[in-house]
Amino acid sequence: MNWIKVISIFSALLLSVPVLYILVEGFAIRSPQAFSSSFLEGVELSLLSSITAAVIDVIVFTPLAYYLSRGRDPVVDTLADVPASIPHPIVGVALVFLDASYSPVGRFLQTLGINFFDTFQGLVAALVIVSAPIYVRGMRSYFDALPRSYENYAMSLGAGPLRTFAYVVLPESLRGVVLSALTSMSRALSEFGSIAIIAYYVLGQPFNGVSPASIQIYNYYGYYGPQVAISASAVMILAGLVLLVVIKILGLRLR
């Protein structure tokens, strides 16, 4: 076990040391662009859109996770994993196509006043697609671990599957919902590929002309070089670490 512990610590350091180095070096450099109002607005945009995507994940995909846990449907299971198995720029391309006026779906969305391209709606839509598989996997594992005695008892009294899910399963699943939602939020916060296509800028108030933080870091690297990008990355890493600490604390408290 001692050797396993040594190997495990070494493996963890391989993952964390480069990121921690950027965190320390970035705040040591303190590039002005990384602390400018435009970049901080991008961080705010990324946080708000990630929170919104996580809330949508909870509302829309919790029943799916429960169905996959209890139903064992291989077709639906495969469909739920599709966004996680393709390059994420494809998600952005798909949303652009669906939003186009020559697409029947796009024309229908336009009649509803919904526009994905360079809007907050499109940004959230992309983040939901890429983060939902993470949420579904987490909640499915949680539902798998739940004892089924209460469910069986409720059904034996005549409660249907939907009523059992709403009144028996969900109240017992608060910890899983919160932790899975925060994990999906952290995944949304780190997204780049899909939003670089569908929401390079967000037009419309209150984020008119603001790019998400990951897009701005990419631009800083191209325009100013690695030093500015490292400082901006350090700010985003700090936001991600705060979220990680929140997840760990909530996990301990809800346990």
Q: Which two tokens stand for residue 4?
A: 């396993």
Query: Which is more confident, 199 or 251?
Result: 199
Q: What is the pLDDT of residues 115-127, one digit of tens each?
A: 888 899 999 999 9
DSSP string, 142-167: HHHHS-SHHHHHHHHTT--HHHHIII
- Angle of helix 88-99 relative to helix 104-111, nearest 10 degrees, comes to 70
At 103 the pLDDT is: 81
CB atoms within 10 A of CB 157: 8
| Residue whose pair of structure tokens reads 């929170």 in the numeric block | 51
Spatial CA neighbour of 213 closest among 197, 236, 196? 236
Taking a C-beta distance cutoff of 8 angstroms, is the pair 231, 34 a contact? yes
Instruction: Compute the distance between CA of residue 189 and CA of residue 209 in angstroms, rounded to an integer.
Output: 19
At 6 the pLDDT is: 84
Query: Please, which contacts does 250-255 make with residues 24 or more away whose CB atoms are closer than 8 Å?
Result: 250/178, 250/179, 250/182, 251/175, 251/179, 254/174, 254/175, 254/178, 254/179, 255/175
What's the mean per-residue pLDDT of the chain? Answer: 87
**Which residues, 6+ apart, have CB-to-CB distance to 64 below 8 Å?**
76, 80, 136
Confidence of residue 62 (pLDDT cuts 50, 70, 90): very high
**Which residues, 6+ apart, have CB-to-CB distance to 179 below 8 Å?**
138, 247, 250, 251, 254
Q: What is the pLDDT of residues 206-223, one digit of tens each?
A: 788 889 999 999 999 888
CB atoms within 10 A of CB 182: 22
Tell me what the mean pLDDT of segment 4-28 comes to: 85
At 255 the pLDDT is: 63
DSSP state of 168: I
Q: Which two tokens stand for residue 71?
A: 């139903």
CB atoms within 10 A of CB 168: 19
